[in-house]
Amino acid sequence: MERRLQEIKAVVVHWDAGVVKDSIKALKDWMVSETDHMYHRFVRRNEVNYGRSTNYRCVHCGAPKYTQEAIRFFGDYCPSWRHTKETPHLNSPNNCTIGICILHDFDDGGYSVETMKTAAKLAAEMLAFFRLGIDGFWTHSMICGEDYKHCPKAFVENPTLWKEFRGMVENYL
C-alpha cells in the first residue's frame, strides 16, 4: 500500500551504485523487480525521468541510525535510537523527503558536466517548488552517515565536488 508523504522537508540526492548501468529504465525495472526502493526522479545526462509521484513516500533514505545533523534537522523523522530489522521504525526521513537518483557517467562513480547541470537544475526546481531553500538539500550519506552509505559516491569521496554541486544548485535557486 502506498503511503502519502506527511510533509516535504528536504530533497535528497543519491547515486545508482552501479547496479544497472544501461539506462534509467533498466534501473527502474530492476528496482521494481528486486527491491522495495524507488526514487521520485532519476537523472542521466540531460534526461530527467519520473519515478514515483512526489505525493507518495519512496523508500530511499531510511537507515538503522542517523547522523546528529539529520536528527536535529528532521526531528521525529530521525529517531536517535538505533533500530533493528526486527523492530523497524515506520517514521523515517522517507516520509518527508524527495529522492533524486543521479546515474553516474564514469566507472569511478563520477558525473559528466551535462549530468551535473541537469541534476542541479532539477534539485533547484524541487527546492523552490517546495519552498525549502538550500538548507533542505541533502545527500543520502548526510542523513545516514558515510559508514552506512557512500551515497552519492562521487560527492562522499570528493567533498569539493559536493560543494561545487551544491553551489550550482544554489545558483539555480
Q: What type of residue is 80?
A: S
- Specify the range with the lowest mean pLDDT, choosing from 76-90, 94-108, 113-127: 76-90
**pLDDT in the model for residue 157:** 95
pTM of this structure: 0.93
Q: What is the dihedral of CA 146, 150, 153, 155, to 10 degrees?
A: -20
* Bridge partner list, 101: 14, 42
CB 73 within 8 A of CB 97: no
CB 21 within 8 A of CB 108: no
- For the record, the C-alpha cell of 142 comes out as 548526510
Query: How open is the CA angle 158-125-149, to the nearest 5 degrees?
Result: 35
In this predicted model, what pLDDT tens digit does every residue of 17-61 receive, in sequence order? 877 667 899 989 888 887 778 899 999 999 999 999 999 999 898
- Residue spans of the domains in the chain: they are 10-172
Q: What is the C-alpha to C-alpha distance for residues 22 and 25, in angstroms, rounded to an integer?
A: 8
Confidence check: pLDDT of 153 > 60: yes
Query: Coil, strand or helix: which one is 71?
Result: helix
Percentage of the residues of the chain whose pLDDT score is greater than 90: 65
Residue with the three cell numbers 552506512: 148
DSSP assignment string, 21-72: -S-HHHHHHHHHHH-S---SEEEETTEEEE-S-TTB---SS--SS--HHHHH
**pLDDT in the model for residue 6:** 84
Confidence of residue 131 (pLDDT cuts 50, 70, 90): very high
CATH number for the region 10-172 comes to 3.40.80.10
**pLDDT in the model for residue 90:** 65
Confidence check: pLDDT of 85 > 50: yes
* Bridge partner list, 11: 98, 137
